[in-house]
Amino acid sequence: MITMLHKMGVRSGMMYAAGLASIGASVAVWFMSNSQESAGVDRADRWGIFVGEWAPTFFAMGIALRMEETREEMRSSSIEQESFGGSYAEGRMPSRAGV
C-alpha cells in the first residue's frame, strides 16, 4: 500500500501535514461540538477524540513513506555508482577502460 501511495505521488511531508491538521481539527471539532450541541461535554469529548485518533495513523504513514523515499534515493545512488564502475567506498578505483 505504501509503495502504491508513493507511486501516486503522495510524499511523507503530506502525511505529516495531515497529522498536524488532524490535531488542529480535533480541537476545532471539540469547540464546535461543545458550543453548538446541547449534548454536553461528553459528546464534544467523543468527537474530539475520534478526530484526534487519525493523527497517529497519518504520522505512521508519513514515516513509512519516508522510508520508501529513502529506499528510492539509495537505489538511484547505487545505479549512479554502478555506472562509474564501482565506488571509492568499496575500495576500488572507477574503471575508465570503456572511455
pLDDT tens digit string along 53-83? 999 999 999 999 999 999 888 887 776 666 6
DSSP H/E element including 26 = helix 12-36
Sign of CA dihedral 20, 21, 22, 23: positive
Q: Which of the 8 DSSP states describes residue 98?
A: T
pLDDT of residue 81: 64
Residues 6+ apart with CB under 8 A from 8: none
Cβ burial, residue 38 (10 Å; 0-12/13-18/19+): exposed
Specify the pLDDT at position 90: 59
- CA-based Rg of the chain, rounded to a whole angstrom? 23
pLDDT at res. 72: 85
Give pLDDT, residue 85: 54
Cell of 63: 514515516
Q: What is the tens place of the pLDDT at every residue in 9-60? A: 999 999 999 999 999 999 999 888 878 777 778 888 888 888 899 999 999 9
Q: Please tell me the distance from the alpha carbon of residue 52 to that of residue 45, in angstroms, as a whole number.
A: 10
